[in-house]
Amino acid sequence: MFAIPTVLFVCTGNIYRSRFAEALFNHHAQTRELGWCAFSRGLNIATTDFDGLSEHTQSALESRGIELHHTATTKTALTDEDLEMAHIVIALNHDEHHPLVAKQFPAWADQFNYWQVGDQELCEPAIAISLIEKETEALIAELVASSEG
């Protein structure tokens, strides 16, 4: 599916946190000609009937001048094939996602990288967006440094 190295961002519903991280990463990777791309998936996309992009994500992307084509148009469930094709896998919240990963993809549970960005009932969206931005920028800086070294 992808001919270049990929980062897979995973959250619960794939409408908010992972889609923001995906779009942010893709925007900056393209701008910096990093040679990486991102995609995102959800562990339990049935948690909502909504199939679009969270208003928080859409607003955050628009305010940063990031075009919506940097993320998928609909939510998508995580599969084994997604995990096999990704070079880096990041779940947005350890406490929330590790149990789901351990249940659905037990062989992968300890191979994920886990951030600590809570969903909107646990973390104010503006704070979550800021945390995702900080973590994504650190990841990009790490990838840039490793490509230069």
Tell me: the pLDDT tens digits for 102-144? 999 999 988 999 998 867 667 688 889 999 999 999 999 999 9
CA atoms of 49 and 140, how far apart (whole Å): 33
CA distances from residue 73 to 23, 24, 51, 52 in whole angstroms, order as listed: 11, 15, 9, 7
Architecture of domain 6-94+105-144 in this structure: 3-Layer(aba) Sandwich (3.40)
Tell me: the pLDDT tens digits for 3-61? 789 999 999 999 888 999 999 999 999 999 999 999 999 999 987 777 788 899 999 99
CA distances from residue 125 to 101, 118, 146 in whole angstroms, order as listed: 23, 9, 31
Hey, is 46 helix, strand or coil?
A: helix
Tell me: the pLDDT tens digits for 52-67? 888 999 999 999 999 9
Tokens read off for 123: 């973390």
CA atoms of 28 and 102, how far apart (whole Å): 31
CA atoms of 124 and 58, how far apart (whole Å): 16
Sequence ranges of the domains in the chain: 6-94+105-144
Amino acid at 99: P
For residue 10, which of 107, 76, 87, 74 has the smallest C-alpha distance? 76
